[in-house]
Structure 1
Amino acid sequence: MKITSLSSLNTKVPEDNYFYQYVAAITGTLTIITSGMHYGWPSPSLPILERLENSTFSISPDEGSWIAVMPLIVALIGALLAASIVDILGRKRTIIATCLPFFAAWIMIAFSHSLPVLYVARFIAGVADGLAFTVVPMYIGEIADPKIRGLLGSGVSTSWIFGILLINVVGSYLSITTTALVSSVVPILALLTFIWMPESPYHHVMKGEFEEAKKSLQVLRGRDDVDNELSRVSKAVIAQTQNTGKFLDLFTTKSNRKAVYIIMVLRGAQQFSGATAITFYTQSIFKEAGEDISSELATIIYYTVQFLLNILCNSIVDKAGRRPLLILSLLGSALALFVEGTYFFIKTQTTIDVAPFSFLSVISLIGFVVFFSSGMQSIPILMLGELFPANVKAFALCLADIYFCVIATVVSKFFQIVKDSFGIYVPFYAFTGSCLLGLVFIVLFVPETKGKSLEEIQVFLGGKVGKDGKDERSERVDV
Structure 2
Amino acid sequence: MEVEYVFEEDTNEASKIHFHFSREFCTQFGILFVANLLIFISGTHIGWIGPTILKLSSNSSEIPLTSSEISWLTAMLPLGGGIGPIFGAVLANGVGRKNAILLTTIPEIASWIVIANAKNIYNLCIAQFIKGLIGGFAMAAVPMYLGEVSSPQFRGINGMLFQLHYTFGAIFEVVLVPFVSIAVNAWIASIIPFLLLIIFIWMPESPYYFLIKNQTENARKSLQILRQTDHVDQELEHLKQVVGEEQNEVQKFSEIFRVRNNRISFFLCFGIISTQLLTGMNVIFLYSQVILDKSSSPIEPHICGIIISVVGFICVISSFLTIDSLGRRPLLLFGTFGTMIPCFLIGLYFHLDSINYEHISSIKFVPFLALIVHHITVVPGITTVPYLYLSEMLSTSIKGFASLIICCYASIGHSIFSKFYVNLCDFIGMHNVFYLLVFGCFISGIGTYFFVPETKGKSLDEIQKYLKSYNLKQHC
Question: If the length of structure 2 is used for normalisation, what is the TM-score?
Answer: 0.93
Structure 2: how far apart are the matches of 1:330 and 1:453? 26
Within the candidate set 189, 192, 195, 1:189 is matched to 195
Aligned to 1:263: 269
2:139 aligns to what?
133
Equivalent in the alignment of 2:149: 143
The answer to whether residue 217 in structure 2 is matched with residue 222 in structure 1 is: no
Q: Does residue 368 of the first structure (1) align with residue 336 of the second (2)?
A: no
Structure 1 residues 228 and 445: CA distance shift in structure 2, 3 A:
same
Q: Distance in 2 between matches of 1:188 and 1:230?
A: 34
Q: 1:37 aligns with which of 26, 29, 44?
A: 44
Contact 1:82 1:130 in 2 (8 A): yes
For residues 311 and 11 of structure 1, do their structure 2 counterparts lie closer, same or farther at Cα, with a shift above 3 Å needed?
closer
Flag the 1:178–1:245 CA change in 2: closer, same or farther, 3 A: farther
Match of 1:79 in 2: 85
Question: Mean Cα displacement is larger for which, 419-428 or 157-166?
Answer: 419-428
Measure, in 2, the Cα distance between the counterparts of 1:249 and 1:80.
19
Q: CA offset at residue 52 of structure 1?
A: 4.7
CA positional deviation for 1:154: 2.5
Q: Does 1:176 align with 2:187?
A: no
CA distance in structure 2 between the aligned counterparts of 1:368 and 1:47, rounded to whole angstroms = 21
Identity of paired residues, percent?
31
CA distance in 2, matches of 1:12, 1:396: 28
Match of 2:166 in 1: 160
| Alignment partners' CA distance in 1, 2:15 and 2:446 | 39
| Deviation at residue 314 of structure 1 after TM alignment | 2.2
What does 1:17-416 align with in structure 2 at a 5 Å threshold? 17-55=24-62, 57-243=63-249, 245-416=251-422
The aligned amino acid for 1:301 is I
| TM-aligned CA deviation for residue 173 of structure 1 | 1.3
Deviates more, 1:392-401 or 1:151-160: 151-160
| Contact in 2 for aligned 1:310/1:377 (Cα 8 Å) | no
Point out where structure 1 has 5 or more consecutive residues left out of the alignment.
1-5, 464-472
| Equivalent-residue separation in structure 2 for 1:152 and 1:325 (angstroms) | 16
Unaligned runs of 5+ in 2: 1-5
1:37-93 superposed Cα distances (whole Å, 9 cap, x missing partner) = 1122210111221225351x3111111111112121122222112222221100000
Tell me if structure 2 keeps the 8 A contact 1:322–1:379: yes
Do 1:347 and 1:353's aligned partners in 2 also have CA atoms closer than 8 Å?
no
Q: Which amino acid aligns with 1:296?
A: H
Structure 1 residue 322, shift from structure 2 partner? 1.4
More displaced, 119-128 or 407-416? 407-416
Q: Secondary structure at the match of 1:391?
A: helix
Q: Which moved more, 1:382-391 or 1:121-130?
A: 121-130
Q: 1 CA distance for matches of 2:425 and 2:251?
A: 44
The separation in 2 between residues aligned to 1:431 and 1:232, in whole angstroms, is 45
Whole-angstrom distance in 2 between the partners of 1:53 and 1:45: 12
1:135 is displaced (CA, Å) by 0.4
* Contact preservation (8 Å) 1:134, 1:397: yes
**Stretch moving more, 348-357 or 295-304:** 348-357
SS in 1 for 2:396: coil
Residues 272 and 407 of structure 1 are in contact (CA less than 8 Å); yes or no, is this contact kept in structure 2? no
Taking only aligned residues, the RMSD between alpha carbons, in angstroms, comes to 2.0
Contact 2:292 2:368 in 1 (8 A): yes
Q: Deviations over 1:235-282 (max 9, x none)?
A: 100110125543322222211111111112111112221110011111
Say whether the 8 Å CA contact 2:149–2:206 is kept in structure 1.
Answer: yes
Query: What is the number of equivalent residue pairs in this alignment?
Result: 462
Deviation of 1:134 after TM superposition, in Å, equals 0.8
Q: What is the SS of the residue equivalent to 2:57?
A: helix
More deviation, 22-31/341-350: 341-350
Distance 1:85 1:269 in 2: 28
Q: Which residue does 1:420 correspond to in 2?
A: 426
Out of 236-245 and 208-217, give the one that drifted further. Answer: 236-245
Structure 2: distance between partners of 1:13 and 1:346: 54
Letter in 2 for 1:383: Y
- Counterpart residue type for residue 345 of structure 1: H
Distance 1:257 1:315, change over 3 A: same
